[in-house]
Structure 1
Amino acid sequence: MTAQPTPKGAWKITFLLFLFMLVNFADKIVVGLAGVPIMTELKLEPEQFGLLGSSFFFLFSISAIVVGFIVNRIATRWVLLVLAAIWALAQFPMVGTVSFTTLLICRVILGAGEGPAASVAVHAIYKWFPDEKRTLPTAILAQGSAFGVILAVPALNWVIVNHSWHYAFGALGVVGLMWVAAWLVMGKEGPLVQTVAMAEADPRIPYLQLLTSRTFIGSCAAAFGAYWALSLGLTWFTPFIIKGLGFSQNDAGLISILPWVFGATIVLLTGWISQVLMARGMSTRGARGVLGSVPLIVGGLILATLAYVDHAGLRIAVLVIGTGLSGSIYVVCPPMLSEFTPVSQRGAVIAIFGAIYTLAGIVAPAVMGSVIQHAGGLLEGYMTGFTINAVVMVVSGLLGLLLLWPNTERARLMTQVGQPKFA
């Protein structure tokens, strides 16, 4: 078959969705960045702050699944618009005097709005790129998360240090509304949608078969470990730098950029290497499955050495490199799932995948908070928490390495449901 050309305007939409994910992760990071001032003002114990970090994910998965089925029928353009508007409006209550309960509720609402974001954005961008050209735009989309932190952290930290953490939330609300206005004017639906002829050639596979396939399970397991690291980074990295290692809020703001700079590099390299390997004839088992799983295992092993390092700078380096390597898995999982999922079911499958692996966001911050509060000392608590993170990463990476076989999944699934194999 002749490869499909990339439609005109695809890279403009990619850039807008990159900005969408940038705002998305700036919203996520603000609580961790302002963690010490928030804990001080609201007099929160570590377990309470861990609960605050986890609260963002209370409705995250449920919302992701519901909206995932909605985007099978409604244009992603309008769904993205509504989601971004929810994010923006959820920030403004924090501008004034706020209680812990109000902050908690707003984070739950924000999480409900952001839960479907990544999967809907991926589904939207796949309407602009054929399968063999999707890994790089997926990597660029993932960079929105890194740059959301890289660009937002210095700006938000300046607001926190010189004004108040309350105004940092307000600034994010204003930026969110700016993206809504831009998307309303320039956002479009991709032309690579399923036609009647495509639907006839792409028969429906029962969701039970899709969701119990080894590649789907492997993707969820591997991404769960990576997201455990990411959610700890969002909630606990800056407090660790300040309270665990003794840096100031101002210095911690600059240091907090490092994991995201390194992670951005890893994600872009993964996307580029994956497409190069596929262009040279490597199967997607190697160019996607192995390429995403191995860095996760290596990162976990590096992170496991954190408790045995004494120097503050080396501890930061170990934490940055260990957790940053896990980002490879985010680039390869959605393309792997799209390899064997019919287009009419892709939005829901990618959303369910996102809903499952982001459950780590509920567990990880709360576990860290509990470990810190009940440890013999503050630093000991952090070390134990990050060691747990390392174990989760290694186990999830090994499961990914064992289960990710996207190149043979389609044929196997079609045989199970009694359909002829596709070439």
Structure 2
Amino acid sequence: MTAQATPKGTSTGTPKGAWTITFLLFLFMLVNFADKIVVGLAGGPIMDELKLSPEQFGFLGSSFFFLFSISAIVVGFIVNRIDTRWVLLAMAVIWSVAQFPMVGTVGFATLVICRIILGAGEGPAFAVAAHAIYKWFPDEKRTLPTAILSQGSAFGVILAVPALNWIIVNHSWHYAFGALGIVGLMWAAAWLVMGKEGPLVHTVTTAATDPRVPYLQLLTSRTFIGCVAATFGAYWALSLGLTWFTPFIVKGLGFSQTDAGWISVLPWVFGAAIVLLTGWISQVMLTRGYTTRGARGVLGSVPLIVGGLILAVLPYVNGAGWQIAFLVVGSGLCGSIYVVCPPMLGEFTPVQQRGAVIAIYGAIYTLAGMIAPFVMGAVIQNAAVPLDGYMSGFTINAVIMAASGLLGLLLLWPNTERKRLMAQAATQPKFA
């Protein structure tokens, strides 16, 4: 079996400066996920100070995603026409400004409003960053940069959690938000000076072999549906980790806030290893002649199924240490799918439509982030004891992860998708 050939008109060389841009966008995602994790990390102090119930705190976690998907879709179409350089800069400024109101005394309503604004600014982040990186790397070289980009999320948590938790413990959770606002502005300044638009977009856009495909066909293709389904399950686990992992450690297992800060790093360390390993294995498989069905589709789906099965065992494990280990490994395996789905969508989506398609994909699967934290909060609040509620919530997560992995395994066939879509588009009126 052979890997899909590189489309005509696509350069196989990597332009000078590509890895500098990759590093800057890695930092972009690092700040992005540090912004996301702070509410979950400060969950105990926030609930205590504002007198929030588990259901209210779940609503706070979900509020981040209220405009997340809508913003992702709107900005996805914008980056088809406007340079990603300026869009990325605008998003970083919005993130930073949205953090500063929390430095002072705030109520629940203000906190929710600021999280909604932050979510609107961060909704398009990964899609726009991936679209920007793909202007610097040809298709056969995109998996590793995508893995590095994804690692910004893990390292954002790994590096930020100890620092933010120190601020929370020794000063106040309010100042943790302010610190993130300052860091966001620092990234924006660096990007303004060093950020550039990739050169490969011009070559690919003008290629005669890359006509437009109706969006209806792109969005109903089995690989697009498979990516959405698989990543939905992964993001359910991710959003629970962002919102509920630290409260579970503190209020469910009885650890102190100081200890919970260090423990909260573990899922992201494991997830970082999984993502980098997936990117490396995928790249090696492609160079050895595997199709992208195997090197991306199967490689991303199977860990989801395994992770779901591990989480299903969690309620039957005794001891806090083992429970943390099963939770870390089970939820951490979902990271593989983030590495492989954007390149799979890039395989069959015309470059002039890629920003919108990746953004719509992100907008749909991140709906899990709006649902999962609130569901967990409701389950905890209605349980006889909090620990039972957490275990029931993780069981729901296990079922969703395993089911999403199975759907991915059935539907992800990117190596044949482009040929089929191009043939289908050639026989139908162009109405995209």
Q: Give the TM-score taking structure 2 as reference length.
A: 0.96
Structure 2 runs not aligned, ≥5 long: 1-7
Q: How does 1:47-62 map to 2 (within 5 A)?
A: 47-62=55-70
Instruction: Report the Cα distance in structure 1 between the residues aligned to 2:111 and 2:205, rounded to whole angstroms.
Output: 50
Among 6, 15, 19, the alignment partner of 1:11 is 19
Residue number among 92, 96, 109 corresponding to 1:101 in the alignment:
109
Q: 1:189, 1:389 → 2: CA distance? A: 39
**Aligned counterparts of 1:62 and 1:283: Cα–Cα separation in 2:** 34
**Contact between 1:199 and 1:344, CA under 8 Å: does it hold in 2?**
no
**Is residue 376 from structure 1 mapped to residue 384 from structure 2 by the alignment?**
yes
**For residues 125-274 of structure 1, what are the structure 2 equivalents within 5 Å?**
125-195=133-203, 198-274=206-282
Partner SS for 1:305:
helix
Alignment correspondent of 1:77: 85
Match of 1:279 in 2: 287
Q: Whole-Å Cα distance in 2 between the matches of residues 350 and 166 of structure 1?
A: 34
Does 176-185 or 190-199 show the bigger shift?
Answer: 190-199
Structure 1 residue runs of 5 or longer lacking an equivalent are none
Which one of 368, 389, 408 corresponds to residue 397 of structure 2? 389
- Which segments of structure 1 move beyond 6 Å, counting only runs of 4 or more? none
- CA drift at 1:201: 2.3
Deviates more, 1:91-100 or 1:191-200: 191-200
Tell whether 2:132 aligns with 1:116. Answer: no
Q: CA deviation at 1:194?
A: 3.4
Q: What RMSD, in angstroms, separates the aligned Cα atoms of the two structures?
A: 1.2
Q: Is contact 2:30–2:154 with CA below 8 Å preserved after alignment?
A: yes
Task: State whether residues 204 and 351 of structure 2, in contact with CA within 8 Å, keep that contact through their aligned partners in structure 1.
Answer: no
**Could you say which residue in structure 1 is the equivalent of 2:356?**
348
| 8 Å contact kept, 2:278–2:336 | yes
State the identity %: 82
- What is aligned with 2:98? 90
The offset of 1:339, in angstroms, is 0.4
Please give the alpha-carbon distance, in whole angstroms, between the structure 2 residues aligned to 1:196 and 1:91.
Answer: 39
How far apart are the structure 2 equivalents of 1:5 and 1:416?
A: 31
Determine if contact 1:21/1:141 at 8 Å carries over to the other structure.
yes
Post-superposition shift, 1:198?
2.6
Equivalent of residue 366 in structure 2, options 358, 361, 364: 358
Q: Secondary structure at the match of 1:67?
A: helix
CA deviations over 1:231-262 (Å, ceiling 9, x no partner):
00000000000010010000000000000000
Match for residue 4 of structure 2? none
Question: In 2, distance between residues paired with 1:184 and 1:351?
Answer: 23
User: Residue 197 of structure 1: CA displacement?
Assistant: 7.0
**CA–CA distance in 2 between the matches of 1:333 and 1:13?**
21
Cα separation, 2, equivalents of 1:192 and 1:138: 16
Q: Partner letter of residue 320 of structure 1?
A: V
Q: Which moved more, 1:189-198 or 1:238-247?
A: 189-198
Is residue 149–residue 260 contact of structure 1 (8 Å, CA) maintained in 2? yes
Q: Secondary structure at the match of 1:304?
A: helix
Deviation of 1:195 (Å): 4.5
**1:129-162, CA deviations, whole angstroms, 9 ceiling, x for partnerless residues?**
0000000000000000000000000000000000
For residue 380 of structure 2, what is the amino acid of its counterpart? I
**For the residues of structure 2 that align with 1:165 and 1:22, how far apart are their CA atoms?**
20
> Residue deviations 1:12-50, cap 9 Å, x none?
000000000000000000000000000000000000000
Q: Per the alignment, in what secondary structure is the counterpart of residue 426 of structure 2? A: coil
Query: Deviation at 1:414?
Result: 1.3
Alpha-carbon shift at residue 3 of structure 1 (Å): 5.7
Change (3 A) 1:331 1:381: same
Candidates 311, 315, 325, aligned match of 2:319? 311
Report Cα offsets for 1:262-320 as digits up to 9, x if no partner.
00000000000000000000000000000000000000000110100110000000000
Q: Quick check: 1:194–1:344 contact (8 Å CA) kept in 2?
A: no
